[in-house]
Structure 1
């Protein structure tokens, strides 16, 4: 059992924290309005500041939206670093910039802690079902310390390499996910415009080489037009920005990634920043003046 400070009780963080509580860990979070009733019933505690959370914990877990948010939580005024005890394990499960992650790891190490980057894939369903894929960047010691905790929340936990390697893997994951969602949307749009039953098309494709989790889950979202997140377009835009910024620094061409980012931006221009990322379909529909499932 660990005393865990958990920062970030959003769509993903709430169920992840719940699994840790169910496993017998003691959790403390920073007070931000009303604590989720389910987590409170399971015994989650609140502290008045991030510093106080760190003082009460031997493990800190963060899962917040972006690189500046992680920096503020860890190193801002009254932040975690001010209450960090020697030997504290800091696990960041956000999706942020790999190079900056390396800098964060060094700052935590200098303060006497151990830093692990452990971004996740699997979406809200994976978080709820404790079936996340977790990509870990850490020293071997840090990974072994973090592993029993990560296994409570994830189904697949892989040590990719040293600090920052987990974030690099997550950026690659988000490239593949974005392009696959776009491919599914284009396939269904084509089938619909050609007059086929898109539900039957999807069913058939799931039995062949085109089968994927994205065709299964997001293809169904597209057909049923259920675009509530899920994973928000604005967050996937943030991840693709990391990919494109990294590509520039590495002198790489990622044309598919750039195109997917533009389609997400088209959704944002329609007020869809908070749609599920399956909503990329709507940008393609607007370009073609055709809605999936409609009869022309």
Structure 2
């Protein structure tokens, strides 16, 4: 299948590479030069001109709207009947707008954001939540199955992004609680590694403990998903909750903590660096004993 892939970032590059290795003819475009196993196009228009499937993996709603709706963008350059799969994390309303504009020019559209971080992208084990028509979802499955292991059609256009917002709410809140637990344990001079081992085996077990706790204990925050991006996603959560009239008190606090992490200069670090904010609020430094 001829696939255009726009956005070779932390997530996009391994995803596009997996499509190449699965045998697809992938033409990719990225604003800054990247090394890539497939074909690098010189523009969005060149990448999508003959594509059967077009995948966008971009940072935010304005990026997607510019790339898809711009004068030399996806909809201006794609063939009629092409399938556009936006795998970025953007506002549900923006995803619905993209689907409407695409339908008006004969391009099928799905919003299919992902969860699983950089490692999930590398391993091809992402969780993919898909909004759009059931028919278009079925057409996209052969491509999506290369990229993920849990692929679920969750509703009409925009529904995928709504589920992703809920995902980001849970992930951020869990990171915050793990950060609080680690700070609490350290304050009582408890050895963190065995404490995490037993916590992960009980009802408190979760994937943040499994995947992030070791790095949090070591204070290594190599970005798999940056604070900056999670801050953006929590803004989507807050706006969407306000629009629906739903209360998210714990989410609102977590959004403020993530904003604080960004304000403190941690935006380029992994979102598990939320630990640094909790430690700062507790006036503690790594390894500090109980006063």
- Asked if these proteins are the same fold (TM beyond 0.5), I'd say yes
Structure 1 residue 264 corresponds to structure 2 residue 263: no
Counterpart in the other structure of 2:12: 13
Q: Distance in 2 between matches of 1:35 and 1:242?
A: 29
Q: Pick one of 99, 121, 128 that aligns with 1:127.
A: 121
Q: Distance in 2 between matches of 1:215 and 1:121?
A: 16
The offset of 1:31, in angstroms, is 5.9
Counterpart in the other structure of 2:24: 25
Relative distance call for 1:295 and 1:31 in structure 2 (3 A) is closer
Counterpart in the other structure of 1:289: 283
* More divergent stretch after superposition (230-239 vs 256-265): 256-265
Q: Pick one of 73, 76, 83 that aligns with 2:77.
A: 83
Q: Distance in 1 between matches of 2:14 and 2:259?
A: 29
The offset of 1:141, in angstroms, is 0.9
Give the TM-score normalised by the residue count of structure 1: 0.95
Q: Pick one of 137, 158, 171 that aligns with 2:165.
A: 171
Q: Give the SS at the match of 1:91.
A: strand
Counterpart in the other structure of 1:230: 224
Q: Give the SS at the match of 1:271.
A: helix
Structure 1 residue 111 corresponds to structure 2 residue 105: yes
The offset of 1:295, in angstroms, is 2.3
Q: For 1:1-296, what aligned pairs fall within 5 Å after superposition?
A: 2-30=1-29, 32-36=31-35, 39-40=36-37, 44-296=38-290
Q: Distance in 2 between matches of 1:152 and 1:67?
A: 25
Relative distance call for 1:251 and 1:195 in structure 2 (3 A) is same
**How many pairs does the alignment contain?**
290
Give unmatched runs, 5+ long, in structure 1.
Answer: none
Q: Distance in 2 between matches of 1:208 and 1:286?
A: 28
Q: Distance in 1 between matches of 2:267 and 2:34?
A: 26
Q: Distance in 2 between matches of 1:260 and 1:66?
A: 20
Q: Distance in 2 between matches of 1:277 and 1:291?
A: 18
8 Å contact kept, 1:51–1:81: no
Q: Distance in 1 between matches of 2:16 and 2:149?
A: 15
Q: Distance in 2 between matches of 1:32 and 1:251?
A: 38
Indicate the RMSD between aligned Cα atoms, in angstroms.
1.1
The offset of 1:126, in angstroms, is 0.3
Q: Distance in 2 between matches of 1:76 and 1:116?
A: 18
8 Å contact kept, 1:15–1:128: yes
8 Å contact kept, 2:179–2:274: yes
The offset of 1:32, in angstroms, is 4.0
The offset of 1:33, in angstroms, is 4.5
Q: Give the SS at the match of 1:86.
A: coil
Q: Give the SS at the match of 2:46.
A: helix
Q: Give the SS at the match of 2:173.
A: helix
Q: Distance in 2 between matches of 1:208 and 1:14?
A: 36
8 Å contact kept, 2:27–2:41: yes
